[in-house]
Amino acid sequence: MARAATNRHKLVVTLIAWTVGIVIFFPILWTALTSFKTEAEAVATPPTFLAFHWTLENYSEVQQRSDYFLHFWNSVVISVGSTLLGLLVAVPAAWSMAFVPGKRTRDVLMWMLSTKMLPPVGVLIPIYLLFRDFGLLDSRVGLVIVLTLINLPIIVWMLFTYFREIPGEILEASRMDGAGLRDEILFVLLPMAVPGIASTLLLNIILAWNEAFWTLNLSASQSAPLTAFIASYSSPEGLFYAKLSAASTMAVAPILVLGWFSQKQLVRGLTFGAVK
Amino acid sequence: MATAHSRAAARLTMSPAVILLLGWMLIPLVMTLYFSFLRYNLLMPGTEEFIGTMNYQYFLTDPAFFAALGNTLALVGGVLVLTIAGGIGLALLLDQPFWGRGIVRLLVIAPFFVMPTVSALVWKNMLMNPVNGLFAAIAKGLGLQPFDFLAEAPLSSIIMIVTWQWLPFATLILLTALQSLDRERLEAAEMDGAGAVDRFIHIILPHLARAMTVVTLIQTIFLLSVFAEILVTTNGGPGTATTNITYLVYAQSLLQFDVGGGSAGGIVAVVLANIVAVFLMRMIGRNLDI
């Protein structure tokens, strides 16, 4: 009896949870489906759900009309480039904060965090003018620099929380065995830190890929990543739902897959270790 | 165990990150502060002059500022209430055992990974559009008049879009916190005859308090700077109906080229964000045991 009641309860919860999940996911599903419709079918009343003429023409048309892959490539260069550059600067910093903490380490960490809380409009004008004067407007280099800087605090913090979980005794042991600083980092620390670095990398690529304040304000036709490219659909001409859907699906799909893999790290990374 | 040698090395390894962030934060901020005391318009180069606090007086007495302040508060407050209430509900749901839990979890967190311009345009065109949108089709199917969301309830519509984006974040954090709850306490309370509501109010909610604070503070930081969603849906309009502080400063500086006025607005935004940041920093700092 109790078993049957538990199973019935589980069935009810299953139904509710799946309904809620599908409702929340629906805008994404709908976009993906619409990307395979013709423009006429995309606005048909009543809307067709699955029984429509499936086509890939929107995907090829988006590419032909607007050089989609230039913008896709911009997104890849900017998000991966800024993440790698950020790691290069942040790994040594997080290493020393985690293993050789001094009196001020805590203050430095908190101060780094505070830079993340600076609203971007507070520095929009100087950055815009500096970029204009240095010829960095609408350049991938400029966007890599800005995204490296805005995500650096998150990278340092995430790495710090991971590094701190590596037992310090291991380092002492390797030091006793005569390992120098370089060997200590290369052969002892890095192998143990690889999972932490990998998840930091993943989360940061996601954040940089979706960043939509600086990319919208500092890029134009040449360096525009997908966030800015898609924004050009806000003043469209003619029927565009299917093409918007195709462009959106390609922009979201790769990062959605990465995001699903990194869901555990997400909590830690975005709460600065306050919730694990 | 740290030697003088390793301490020096530590300082050295830290310096690039510190110098970069210091440069990133201080130089532009000082420039903004300086511009905010100038009459400085990009369309009239060479006419810059020191005008004291005029820009601030102008910005802070502009009706658009009060509208933007109100909209910012409504947007932040509305999204916070909806995501936290919805997040608690979803966390309680996803915490139960059911078939396909892993998949439903993936479905629920998916909106967080959709870039802001895509989610705003998809909602604006494919769901909320009064002629071709899905909501209009559903309304017509039910014999109702389609509702023009972004024209008639622009701010609420944007709150809805942003809530959809942030609900996964709140859910994920609250779910993580919920899963660290000691099950035996719940069972003990149940044996003592506490009903579901009592258990929720007296055990679950207090346990989630910390996570709720974290969600509130972090989301507030990001929600104060909502920009792309407004830019691609309403451009801050109609009128100033959906202009928040971030969008107002953007419009003043990059659309009207008023660097001085925009800078004053930027400084005001920094001050507002700092009020929230102080609380967040104190909270994170308390959990940081070095």
State the average pLDDT for chain B: 87
A17 and A141 belong to one structural domain = no
Cβ atoms of B225 and A120 closer than 8 Å: yes
Q: What is the mean pLDDT of residues B104-116?
A: 93
What pLDDT is attached to residue B181? 85
Nearest to B127 among A27, A206, A274 (CB): A27
Count of domains in chain A? 2
Lowest-confidence range among A227-231, A243-247, A254-258, B182-186? Answer: B182-186
A102 and A222 belong to one structural domain = yes
What pLDDT is attached to residue B228? 92
What pLDDT is attached to residue A273? 65
C-alpha A247/C-alpha A28 separation (Å) is 13
Angle among Cα A184, A190, A196 to the nearest 5 degrees reads 140
A144 and A43 belong to one structural domain = no
**C-beta atoms of A118 and B27 within 8 A:** no
Dihedrals φ, ψ of B152, to 5°? -95, -30
Lowest-confidence range among A23-32, A191-200, B97-106? Answer: A191-200
Residue-range definition of the domain harbouring residue A102: 66-270
Dihedrals φ, ψ of A50, to 5°? -125, -25
What pLDDT is attached to residue A62? 83
**pLDDT of A188 higher than 60:** yes
From chain B, the residues in CB contact with A255 under 8 A are 113, 115
**C-beta atoms of A17 and B104 within 8 A:** yes
Q: Is A273 on the interface with B (CB under 8 A)?
A: yes
A121 lies in a domain?
Answer: yes
C-alpha A116/C-alpha B273 separation (Å) is 11
A227 lies in a domain?
Answer: yes
A172 and A240 belong to one structural domain = yes
- β-bridge partners, B258: B41
Residue-range definition of the domain harbouring residue B98: 53-286
Most confident of A125-134, B77-86, B280-289: B77-86
Residue given tokens 């207090």 in the structure block:
B206
A31 and A92 belong to one structural domain = no
CB atoms within 10 A of CB A90: 29
Q: Is B16 on the interface with A (CB under 8 A)?
A: yes
A34 and A80 belong to one structural domain = no
Q: Which residue has the higher pLDDT, A74 or A268?
A: A74
User: Is the ipTM above a cut-off of 0.95?
Assistant: no
Which residue is closest to B99 within chain A, CA to CA?
Answer: A14
B30 lies in a domain?
Answer: no
Most confident of A177-181, A260-264, B30-34: B30-34
Q: Residue B155 sits in a domain of what CATH number?
A: 1.10.3720.10
What pLDDT is attached to residue A61? 83
Which residue is closest to B167 within chain A, CA to CA?
Answer: A24
**pLDDT of A51 higher than 80:** no
**C-beta atoms of A255 and B246 within 8 A:** no
Give residue-wise pLDDT tens across range A78-117: 999 999 999 999 988 888 888 888 778 888 888 887 888 8
Coil, strand or helix: which one is A49?
coil
A26 and A100 belong to one structural domain = no
Nearest CA to CA, how far is A275 from chain B (Å)? 7
**C-beta atoms of A123 and B32 within 8 A:** yes
Nearest CA to CA, how far is B83 from chain A (Å)? 13
A118 and A235 belong to one structural domain = yes
A158 and A141 belong to one structural domain = yes
**pLDDT of B115 higher than 90:** yes
A15 and A128 belong to one structural domain = no
C-alpha A259/C-alpha A202 separation (Å) is 8
What pLDDT is attached to residue A1? 47
Q: Which residue has the higher pLDDT, B4 or B219?
A: B219
Lowest-confidence range among A50-59, A68-77, A87-96, A126-135? Answer: A50-59
Task: State CA B268 to chain mean position distance.
Answer: 17
A residues 134-163 near B, CB within 8 Å? 149-150, 152-153, 156
C-alpha A120/C-alpha B281 separation (Å) is 18
A210 lies in a domain?
Answer: yes
User: Which of these three, A57, A89, A104, is where a domain ends?
Assistant: A57
Which residue is closest to A182 within chain B, CA to CA?
Answer: B9
Nearest to B172 among A117, A181, A263 (CB): A263
Task: State CA A11 to chain mean position distance.
Answer: 35
A161 and A112 belong to one structural domain = yes
**pLDDT of B186 higher than 50:** yes
B166 lies in a domain?
Answer: yes
A189 lies in a domain?
Answer: yes
C-alpha A155/C-alpha A143 separation (Å) is 17
Dihedrals φ, ψ of B50, to 5°? -75, 125
C-alpha B131/C-alpha B121 separation (Å) is 15
